[in-house]
Chains A and B, each alone.
Chain A
Amino acid sequence: MNTMFKEILLFEFRYRLKRPATYIYSGLLFLMSFLTMLGLGGAFGESFVLGDDSGGKVLANSPYQINWIITLLSWYGLLITCSMMGTPVFRDFEYRIHPLFYTTPISKAGYLFGRFSGSFLITLLVFMGLAAGAFLATLMPWVEAEKLAPFNLLWYLQPYLIIVIPNLFFTGAVFFGLGTLTRSGLSLYVGGIIFLLLYVMASSLISDLDNEMIASLIDPMGSAAIYYTQRYWTSAERNLLMLPFSDQLVLNRTLWLAISLAILAFCYNRFNFSFANAGRKFFRKQSMAHTTEEIKLTGHIALPSVTQPFSFKSSLKQYFHLTKMEFKGTVRSIYFIAIVTAGTLFVFVMGAQLGKLYGTTVFPVTSAVIRVLGGSFGLFIFIIIIFYSGELVWRERDKRMNQIYDTLPVPNWLPFTSKLSALMLVQVVLLLVVMLCGLIVQTFKGYYRYELDVYFTGLFGIRLIEYCMLIVLAMLVQVVVNNKYLGHFILVVYYLFNIFLEELGWEHNLYSFNSDPGITYSAMNGYGHFVGPFIVYKIYWAAFALLLAVITNMLWPRGTETSLQRRFKLARMQLTRSTVLIAAAAFTIFILTGGFIFYNTNILNVYRTSDQQEERQANYEKKYKKYDAIPQPRITDVDLQVDIYPGERTFSFKGHFWIKNKYGKPIDSVHLHIPEEAEIRQITLNQPARLVVKDEEFDYYIYKMAQPMRPGDSVRLNLDLLYETKGFRNSGSNTDIVYNGTFIKNNYLPKIGYQPSFELSHDHLREKYGLPPKPYMADVADSAARMNNYYSNHADWINFNAIISTASDQIALAPGYLQKEWTANGRRYFHYKMDAPIINFYAFLSADYAVKRDKWIGKDGKEVTIEIYYHPGHEYNLDRMISSVKKSLDYFTANFSPYPHRQLRILEFPGYKSIAQSFPNTIPYSESVGFIADIEEDEGVDYPFYLTAHEVAHQWWGQQVVSGDVQGSRLMSETLSQYSALMVMKQEYGEEMMKKFLEYELNLYLQGRTGEARKELPLYRVENQDYIHYRKGSLVMHALADYLGEEKLNRALQDYIKDVAFQQAPYTNSIEFLHFIRGVTPDSLQYLVTDMFERITLYENKTIEATYRKLENDKYKVILIVEAKKFYADGQGVETEAKLNDWIDIGIMAREKVNGRWKDKPIYLEKHQLKSGVNKFDFIVIEEPEKAGIDPYHLLIDRNPDDNTKELRASE
């Protein structure tokens, strides 16, 4: 048996070594890995990172990256495994050689396992291509040196030991079993695809599991286990550490190894090693019982006489007939039904997750349903197109009916066009399935506003077109390469190639097949202005697709000689008049629309690739940096007439700024930056001045005044700018000015002085253009930078007055109080004026609004009008928002300072951006956040409430307290708004909701820091880092409120506001802020302020043992052993353990039933001063304890919060 096994193994191995497929597969994996590594190494421009998050300073050949390259690409290799591992036994049957084998004296075990092992080894060899490709790529000259770590062989080998070999063993066993027992090529192939699909589906399900251990275990490929093991690794760890044998990994690998062995055993058991082996095809029809037929001679044969009117009309009839036949053949095939069923299940799963944010869902509005369901079903559609384009092209040949078909008297265009049409019809059916799923999801979620028109345009107007083009391409590929599997592969590569296309600087939609400038739906604006360009682009590509179709048709294989060379020869014979006419028409349309597109994108508008854009930024800096920070007058008054023409997507500004010399010396010239889209109709100063620099390339203008402005002088800057939307752009269509829902910010107005914000910020780009590196933000203590606030470098506090006109059916808004409203020339006019100075941050909005009004009355009797301007139909959460505004005003006026305005308005704008922003007494709020949230009581976080509170808080933090433009400025705007909202939410919803919210925040913080692209900074130096100023900020402020007490903390904030609100330059910074915090902090907790704000601090607290004993006096003695550790991390995530002598909560919980739910109830909760390492406690409590531990409410930042507490164990 042993020698037999070896013999068979070696035979298999040698046989495979001679097969070209082995080398093709290996080469493919090599190439994919090679390209991926090049991409990681920055060879295609901006580099990216593989794994669970993008960004981060992870080196291309770090163990983390190598591991992901090999793991992820080995999934793509699944289809290779399928064909390598599924065939060894099946092959004998296919070649009908099995009787020869099965009559030799070899054993079943020797045969089966010999074949399996031989194939396994050769497949492993094929997969070695991944490591080879990755390694070779690191030697290439295009890889940036700073992206590489020194070579380490183990980093390449370890993924094989832990991931690839076990996975290959498992998938190999599955496919080997499938191939051996079904003995059908198609079952095998479809089995592979279904396996892949199931896996993709399962992984999205797994990622939603709360239980991480189960999620890690049930993932057969182990990626969940890897993910959870490395989830919070910082860049430094990812660059250095290999995958450890974590519990999750070891258990996962063991489990699936056992399952693989079981599969092999099953296969062995079921395999019938005999000549009469019939196999077990799924779906195989039983052969008809052999009926012995009587042979009767019919005498004379009368061939039925028929008429065959060969004409175009009859060809058309044949076309419809064939299309129907091909269509039915496709949708009736069991594999189609299997893929669609899998897809439908997947879609329902995705539908259930629709739009979750902080665990709350949004209403399943049709546009979101289409986006989510259509998007997730898209993968299945892509697979169906790839798979069935091959099946249809090969159908006759696969069934060996091609010789009959090819001699039928049908025109050459018939087979191709009917198959093409059939596959397109299939897409219609699939999209109907998507639509049906969507309707079901909506109905189940209790949303009955179906918006069928949105379904039709979204699915059949947009997606169907895209799929049809893809079908043409897929058919062309299949026909040209004339090898089904190679065709499939090329199409997958095409998809990958599309991703790289942009990296290569090929950004123009004119040469990216099937592309368009994008089309986005908004409830307020519909598809709006996107429709026109979309149609033009689709005509352009449809004409191209028609050309492809003509070529495909000419190359269609008819007859028995199908080499491409032959077909090219034959194609010449097919250049009939109609073919030439169609091709010429398609070509003409292609050229005409292409020209039209070029005219729009490159002549009417400016087209720049990202490289050109970068270069322009670099040159701007090189040319005008010399003017940086020269004294320039600052805006003090804004007085504008803004005319908005939504239908034409045009707007204009007329009016003036007053600008003032606030410096101690004269200013002789005014430098202006005017956006290039503006048509300058007038820019003048009310003093004699000369335009000395008019640089339209960089939009830089310098006016030299005849009389320099003396210190304290003001000048009036008159302006008249017109913004016309001309044609359409290649990408980035302007969504600020739209048919309904215009939202124009003051960045369309001239800026004064050189603008450092236009400079390139990434150091690697700066280096590329020969610019010195520059700090991302000025140092927290930079006193020069503190002369500006972070809104603008050319204004402090301004007086604001504006008249806005818009179309007669819209309401126009700007910060300020409405002075007057009137109608003239069929347009509506609104005059707004602010009664006190505001920061230089304002916007103009116009839409067809409905308005909801309410008011808030303060304790001192002050009245504030609350208004929500919303899109009719979006009434769902208006009451929550209003309630949030009122409660926020309550809390903030009581704890911080008075509200400086008499009104507060929330304005809805289209969902092109998913943000809310706070302008003085005016809060634009995207339709996609909050307005359509579906809040169920006791489920998740009420985020419209929270978000509204956050934005209202900005009326204090950001509008009253304005930081200098230095590091840490976001602490005073975002972190404090986050804290304020948290406190309002606590009052409304209680601790429980807070806990849920903070759990999300902790996870987002820990994940965010792993993706840090530069370096993580302590909170007081935070730059533009969401995960720090929002996420960590919430955690830190919440803990601080607990340690110091909410009241004490609020008193510090109140004092701080008193000190800095509405201040002039120099503006405040976080050092000043911390001074106030330290002022209310006892000496014993000063360390905490340092750790939380000035350092990056992480705890590793856990409960080692927790037991209790019931005492005779009916009390309970609890013994608790906990471990506490504290680490300081640097900006790259390198940690050093710190000495711990900290006050940390020790808690004991009982359980109580509240409203039918079990909840924890603290029976002991005190802060104790702990030392590093093990600490031991004993307590006597009066209730039966349930859980106990260290920091049970997760005040401190800890990567494993779950081990903080433990269920108590009773001891004797």
Chain B
Amino acid sequence: MKDPHKTLLVQNLSKTYSNGTKALKNINLTIPKGMFGLLGPNGAGKSSLMRTIATLQEPDCGSIMLGDMDVLQQKEGMRRVLGYLPQEFGVYPNISAEEMLGHFAVLKGISNSRERKEAVEALLQQTNLYEVRKKNLGGYSGGMKQRFGIAQALLGNPQLIIVDEPTAGLDPAERNRFHNLLSEISENIIVILSTHIVEDVTDLCRNFAIINRGEVLLEGDPLQVIDSIDGRIWRKFIRKNELEEHRLRYKVISSRLYAGQTIIHVYSEARPGQDFEAVAPVLEDVYFSKIYEASSLQQEVSAMS
């Protein structure tokens, strides 16, 4: 019944909000089965994109196809195969997890009560909420609430799951557990994970895209893109007051403090100077170099105009 090779195809998607913000600019993405990371700084348009895919808002133009289903026209159809965990959500405080999940199950169309009960129970087990299933949601901690959120997203037989910044505010253990859960799920279906944490993508995703200011900067396999900049990232320890000078001279894509000194990463085809040493790039370097590129491009554009 299900098409195992369904992919989500986003084409030429653009959106400008009524206040003039250009949230999405001609987005094109091909998202296959498995976990897909959507990486970008805060305000990059990740949430706008996810909400658009999740039928919550309309784009100005463009199309979204899931297999051969036109999502924008067949919202009802999309909703039937969608699991969605928004970035921010609340709960009814005076209702238990079990009851609430049962309620969502009804609304997801699971009308057989035995099936519904089994599904709710299994999901509570999987999300490790079974012990507290009778407790009111109002008393849940942030992590428990987040797991409850994923449980409701998994209800039914979703073919596409969208999770928007799910690990923000979780402690490392919770986050770890959450990742395990996601990677398990993504074996058979499309999971879109939006995040601004690069490791999340490295750890979990077979495909990803970098999005910034409403534009896709890069799309691909994390390992491949890391390969593509191999040998072009250089590191140097400098003093803090030298940072400005280096910024002017090199393509400094990132800087951070390490043991009181500042380490900068520089993007360059060849070794930029004596005191630079080559480093094996990680996805973070890709990310920062892409952001750097985009922002310098924009500076040029604005300088020209």
Contacts and interface: CB of A to CB of B under 8 A. Distances in A.
B58 interface: yes
Contacts of B119: 304, 306
A304 B118 contact: yes
A409 B105 CA distance: 10
A59 B37 CA distance: 75
Nearest to A332: B94
Contact of B92 (A298, A310, A401): A401
A408 interface: yes
Interface stretch (B120-128, B196-204, B208-216, B278-286): B120-128
Interface of A: 285-288, 290-291, 293, 295-298, 300-310, 314, 317-318, 321-322, 325, 329, 332, 399-401, 403-411, 558-561, 563, 566, 569-570
A497 to B, nearest CB: 31
B57 interface: yes
Contact of A303 (B86, B104, B180, B185): B185
Contacts of A305: 157
B56 A560 contact: yes
A411 B122 contact: no
B109 A322 contact: no
B152 interface: yes
Interface stretch (B76-84, B229-237, B245-253): B76-84
A321 B90 contact: no
Q: Name A's interface SS.
A: loop
Contact of A329 (B91, B92, B104, B123): B92
A334 to B, nearest CB: 10
B116 to A, nearest CB: 7
Nearest to B102: A321
Nearest to A411: B76
Given A307-B115, A559-B55, A559-B57, A410 B156 contact: no
A317 B106 contact: yes
Nearest to B125: A298
A325 B184 contact: no
16 contacts: A288-B132, A293-B128, A295-B128, A297-B180, A298-B125, A306-B119, A306-B157, A308-B156, A308-B157, A318-B109, A321-B103, A399-B91, A403-B84, A407-B82, A409-B76, A563-B18
Contacts of B125: 298
Nearest to A406: B56
Contacts of A570: 58
A399 B90 contact: yes
Given A403-B89, A409-B79, 11 more contacts: A285-B93, A287-B139, A301-B126, A304-B122, A306-B157, A404-B89, A407-B82, A409-B82, A409-B109, A559-B56, A561-B56
A309 B111 contact: yes
A314 B141 contact: no
Given A285-B139, A403-B89, A306 B107 contact: no
Contact of A317 (B94, B111, B180): B111
Of listed B86, B123, B139, residue having the most chain A CB within 10 A: B86
A292 to B, nearest CB: 9
B173 interface: yes
Contact of B57 (A290, A321, A561): A561
Contacts of A297: 177, 180
B176 A295 contact: yes
Interface in B120-155: 122-123, 125-126, 128, 132, 135-136, 138-141, 149, 152, 154
B51 interface: yes
Given A285-B93, A285-B138, A302-B122, A407 B79 contact: yes
B139 A286 contact: yes
Given A288-B132, A288-B140, A305-B157, A314 B111 contact: yes
B181 interface: yes
Contact of A403 (B56, B123, B140, B176): B56
A401 B109 contact: no
Nearest to A563: B18
A295 B91 CA distance: 24
Of listed A303, A329, A560, residue having the most chain B CB within 10 A: A303
A293 B116 CA distance: 27
Contacts of A306: 110, 112, 115-116, 118-119, 156-157
Contacts of B115: 304, 306-307
A318 B89 CA distance: 22
A321 B104 CA distance: 10
B33 interface: no
Contacts of B18: 563
Contact of A318 (B58, B106, B154): B106
B110 A307 contact: yes
Nearest to A308: B109
A1121 B69 CA distance: 102
B111 A561 contact: no
Contacts of A325: 103
Contacts of A405: 107
Contacts of B108: 308, 408-409
A561 B56 CA distance: 8
Contacts of B55: 406-407, 559
A307 B112 contact: yes
Nearest to B17: A561
B164 to A, nearest CB: 9
Contacts of B157: 303, 305-306, 308
A295 B173 contact: yes
B232 to A, nearest CB: 38
A570 B55 CA distance: 12
B88 interface: yes
A507 to B, nearest CB: 43
Nearest to A293: B128
B193 interface: no
A473 B275 CA distance: 75
Interface string B51-77: 100111110000000000000000010
B78 to A, nearest CB: 8
Nearest to B83: A407
B156 to A, nearest CB: 6
Q: Rank and list the top 4 A-B pairs by shortest CB-CB distance, nearest first.
A: A288-B139, A400-B90, A308-B109, A403-B86
Contact of A404 (B58, B84, B106): B84
A314 to B, nearest CB: 5
Nearest to B177: A295
A297 B181 CA distance: 9
